């Protein structure tokens, strides 16, 4: 189903200049001292960065004579907004960012009544080659630096704090690594990002581990490494098929690590952290939505500390893939629940701005709005079944590496 090769090693391209967010606190303080300033200036710079302050003139607690030099050395501009596209009455906003080398990435900020979630990218493009995904079919440009990843979350937090998103000033509460790229293929920089998201001021956003979701197509060695790290963020595994024969074609990484290996790694993570993991499953018409595959998935996950998050596929322009019809969706939910597997259906935001699952491409569309993909109707509640909560487990318009 795909002719693209798997790419684990990012192409060798120039990384952006050093940024405070790439450094540990000790490294940042040392860097400031090398510039002839007291080490505590690093804490001041960090406080401004994580509040979204980009203009040195606003850093009034730093001596005016030192602001420009410190900002130039440690707070270089890494993300330039090219455009914002809004949906859902402005409560969903997709941002296209241009990086220092011209590469393009996308992030999506979604405001709900009880939370605000940003879906961030960890790579420019993706090397996982999933055939139903716009990002995966675009190939991998390069890894992002930690500061480039963190900067997307910081920008979202600043947008919420300033009241740019309808609903008045608010707080960013959740971050999901479900944008462009496979996070675990950029492991070291994603790990640095996780620490920054969880760290308290001045060196982080102070989010709870429960509020951060890291999604992967199943790089088993990296899942094991994450388990050993001891962090307890929410793990989401993009499975999309319960059997190796189908998953080999839908998620090519499965040719390296099979379904049982991926689930075993996720089980070990759940056992270590005490946190259940999410299984992401894009429902694709006549491909992976058959009742027998629902039964296979139910058998695979029964009794495990796992939750299934079903995602009616968001077709991309020109793609032969389409969402499962509503009766098939309902049947799939019913069979999983009958097997005792907790199941929800994702409330996918931003379909009309190509901001939903599988639609993030960041191709060169700067001069015009991308063509629209037809929205998938919301799934009605079956009469004989309990209501299907939408988006209750994981937010996010895109699947990691399949977004």
Active site residues: 106, 357
Q: Which residues lie closer than 8 Å to 27 by C-beta, 6 or more apart?
A: none
Short-list 88, 165, 164, CA closest to 347: 88
Please state whether the peptide bond connecting residue 146 to the residue before it is cis, i.e. omega within 30 degrees of 0.
no
> Contact 133/401 with Cβ under 8 angstroms?
yes
- How many CA atoms lie within 13 Å of 294's alpha carbon, on the beta-carbon side? 25
State how beta strands 306-312 and 342-345 pair: parallel
Short-list 105, 107, 112, CA closest to 89: 112
Q: Is 69 helix (H, G, I), strand (E, B) or coil?
A: helix
Q: What is the C-alpha to C-alpha distance for residues 28 and 39, in angstroms, rounded to an integer?
A: 8
- How many CA atoms lie within 13 Å of 280's alpha carbon, on the beta-carbon side? 33
- Could you report how far apart the first and last alpha carbons of the chain are, in Å? 17
State how beta strands 174-177 and 116-119 pair: parallel
Short-list 326, 319, 387, 386, CA closest to 357: 319
Q: What is the C-alpha to C-alpha distance for residues 56 and 37, in angstroms, rounded to an integer?
A: 16
Cα–Cα–Cα angle for 231, 151, 171, rounded to 5 degrees: 75
Supply the Cα-derived Rg of the chain in whole angstroms: 21
Residue 195's alpha-carbon distances to 131, 147, 160, 208, 230, in angstroms, are: 32, 12, 21, 11, 12
Strand partners, 353: none
Q: Which residues lie closer than 8 Å to 113 by C-beta, 6 or more apart?
A: none
Residue 374's alpha-carbon distances to 27, 354, 356, 357, 377, in angstroms, are: 49, 10, 11, 13, 9
């Amino acid at each position: 189903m795909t002719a693209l090769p798997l790419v684990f090693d990012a192409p060798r391209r120039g990384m952006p200049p050093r940024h405070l967010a790439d450094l540990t606190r000790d490294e940042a303080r040392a860097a400031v001292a090398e510039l002839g300033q007291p080490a505590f200036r690093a804490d001041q710079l960090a406080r401004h960065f994580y509040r979204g302050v980009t203009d040195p003139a606003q850093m009034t607690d730093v001596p005016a004579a030192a602001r420009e030099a410190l900002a130039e050395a440690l707070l270089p501009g890494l993300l330039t907004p090219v455009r914002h596209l809004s949906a859902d009455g402005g409560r969903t906003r997709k941002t296209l960012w241009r990086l220092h080398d011209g590469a393009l990435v996308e992030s999506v900020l979604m405001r709900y009544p009880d939370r605000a979630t940003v879906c961030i990218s960890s790579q420019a493009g993706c090397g996982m080659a999933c055939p139903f995904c716009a990002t995966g079919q675009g190939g991998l440009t390069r890894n992002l630096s930690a500061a480039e990843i963190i900067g997307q979350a910081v920008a979202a937090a600043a947008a919420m704090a300033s009241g740019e998103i309808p609903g008045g000033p608010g707080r960013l509460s959740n971050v999901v690594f479900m944008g462009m790229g496979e996070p675990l293929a950029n492991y070291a920089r994603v790990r640095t990002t996780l620490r920054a998201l969880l760290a308290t001021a001045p060196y982080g956003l102070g989010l709870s581990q429960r509020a951060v979701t890291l999604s992967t197509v199943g790089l088993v060695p990296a899942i094991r490494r994450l388990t050993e790290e001891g962090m307890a963020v929410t793990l989401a595994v993009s499975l999309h098929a319960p059997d190796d024969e189908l998953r080999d074609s839908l998620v090519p990484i499965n040719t390296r690590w099979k379904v049982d290996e991926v689930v075993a790694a996720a089980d070990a993570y759940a056992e270590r952290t005490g946190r259940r993991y999410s299984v992401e499953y894009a429902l694709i018409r006549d491909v992976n939505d058959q009742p027998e595959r629902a039964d296979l998935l139910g058998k695979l996950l029964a009794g495990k500390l796992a939750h299934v998050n079903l995602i009616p596929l968001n077709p991309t322009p020109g793609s032969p893939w389409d969402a499962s019809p509503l009766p098939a969706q309902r049947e799939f939910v019913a069979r999983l629940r009958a097997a005792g597997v907790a199941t929800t259906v994702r409330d996918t935001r931003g379909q009309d701005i190509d901001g939903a699952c599988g639609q993030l491409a960041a191709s060169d569309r700067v001069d015009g709005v991308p063509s629209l993909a037809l929205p998938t109707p919301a799934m009605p509640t079956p009469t004989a079944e309990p209501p299907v909560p939408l988006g209750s487990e994981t937010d996010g318009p895109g699947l990691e590496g399949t977004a």
